[in-house]
Amino acid sequence: MSSARLRQILGTTALSLSLAACARVAPAPPAPPPLPTGDIARAAQARGAEVRTLRALYEVEVTLADGAQGFDAVAAVGEGGALRLEVLGPFGGTRVVAVADGRAFAAYETTEKTYFRGAATAANLARVLRVPVDPATLSRALLGRALVIVPLVPPVASRDGPFARLLAADALGRLEHAWLDPRTARLLRLEVTDPDGALTLAASFERWSEDEGPSRAVPERLRLEFPSVGARIVLEADELERNPSLDSDLFRLRRPAGARVVDLDAET
């Protein structure tokens, strides 16, 4: 090989290595500036509109005062607080199906052939799955949305150190504090207190999935704590599907033939 050809090859190689080095040390794009405080609530609402329904497989760990249990569950989250949970057994079969449409709750336990029905309340979900959270709150948490309570008036936005904060109150006298990333309006943590100021729910959104971009991010790992009853739920998602088409019949459950019926509200 001629010396001229060798110099050409070496020069090309050196240029390639130089460009690769520049690519490795290229600075990351600058973070977006913080949103004006008055825009935080609108930005959070707009973020929520990007993902309206969800379907995913979750690893669930429930810790109660008398111990802990873990299981896999397929969740479908619809609009208006609609929720469907299918708790899987160790070999993949369905052990329990639980549905809520925002008002009514129903569940079927396949091993005991028992059909449960009642209002969509935390007490009824806990009776069946030992998960002490109402279906509407759980559905909003899985979507990563603030305002798990229904506010009387629009929430008040403020700055809290490096975070943005939303404060809302409902007709029952409960308060919700939600802390968000001031640049993206992504929910980081929320707390709900009862009228006496006792903390009833603390939710931490520990990891988000951005498979379809930042604006369509959804929680990949979240932790829900209920200090008043000493309970904790940790959910870690896999196989997330954003905005699937979910028929309303998915959130209804008819009594299977021959099933024993338990009226949850009649027993309280």
Q: If we measure between CA atoms, which residue out of 42, 117, 151 comes closest to residue 268?
A: 117
**What's this model's pTM, rounded to 2 decimal places?**
0.84
- 6 within some domain: no
- 25 within some domain: no
DSSP state letters, 148-201: -S-BSSPPEEEEETTEEEEEEEBTTS-EEEEEE-TTT--EEEEEEE-TTS-EEE
Residue 176 pLDDT greater than 70, yes or no:
yes
Task: Give the model's pLDDT for residue 268.
Answer: 55
Quote the mean pLDDT of the chain.
87
- 28 within some domain: no
- 76 within some domain: yes
Contact criterion met (CB below 8 Å) for 149 and 176 = yes
Higher pLDDT, 212 or 54: 54
- 202 within some domain: yes
Q: Domain limits at 69? A: 37-258
From 22-31, 129-138, 155-164, 235-244, the region with the lowest mean pLDDT: 22-31
Count of domains in the chain? Answer: 1
Task: Give the model's pLDDT for residue 215.
Answer: 86
The torsion of the CA quartet 127, 110, 119, 70, rounded to 10 degrees, works out to 40
- 266 within some domain: no
- 3 within some domain: no
- Which CATH number goes with the domain that contains 74? 2.50.20.10
- 7 within some domain: no
d(CA 27, CA 162): 23
From 7-16, 82-91, 199-208, the region with the lowest mean pLDDT: 7-16
- pLDDT tens-digit map of 13-26: 444 434 444 445 45
**Three-class secondary structure of residue 138 per DSSP:** helix
